[in-house]
């Protein structure tokens, strides 16, 4: 299984960008958060990607995990 990709930097609120709120539901992370991955972002030649955090694996707005596609030519049965 592959983790869902966090939202892009351009879609984050100030609190989410600072790591104060969950990147999925904007809940406060005052009590602690878990790493959610890297929010991709770019401005011209500058990489604006940052680490973002979530309230936990059971966040109500977190997208479901996706299956990693099998390499071409392999049997999945």
Q: Pull the structure tokens for residue 45.
A: 């030649």
Identify whether 71 is part of a domain. no
Is the predicted pLDDT of residue 54 greater than 90, yes or no?
A: yes
Angle at 14 between CA 6 and CA 30, to 5 degrees: 80
Mean pLDDT lowest among 9-13, 21-25, 59-63, 71-75: 71-75
pLDDT band with cut points at 50, 70 and 90 for residue 63: confident
Q: What pLDDT shows up at residue 22?
A: 94
49 contacts 38 by C-beta, under 8 angstroms: yes
How much is the pTM?
0.74
Identify whether 2 is part of a domain. yes
Identify whether 75 is part of a domain. no
Number of domains in the chain: 1
Alpha helices in the chain (DSSP H): 14-18
- Exposure string for 31-40, b = 16+ CB within 10 A, e = fewer: eebeebeebe
Domain range for 16 is: 1-36
């Amino acid at each position: 299984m592959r983790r869902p990709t966090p939202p892009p930097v351009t879609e984050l609120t100030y609190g989410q960008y600072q790591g104060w709120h969950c990147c999925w539901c904007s809940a406060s992370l005052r009590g602690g958060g878990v790493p959610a991955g890297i929010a991709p972002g770019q401005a011209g030649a500058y990489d604006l990607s940052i680490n973002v955090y979530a309230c936990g694996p059971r966040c109500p707005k977190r997208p479901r995990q996706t299956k990693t596609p099998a390499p071409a030519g392999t049997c999945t049965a």
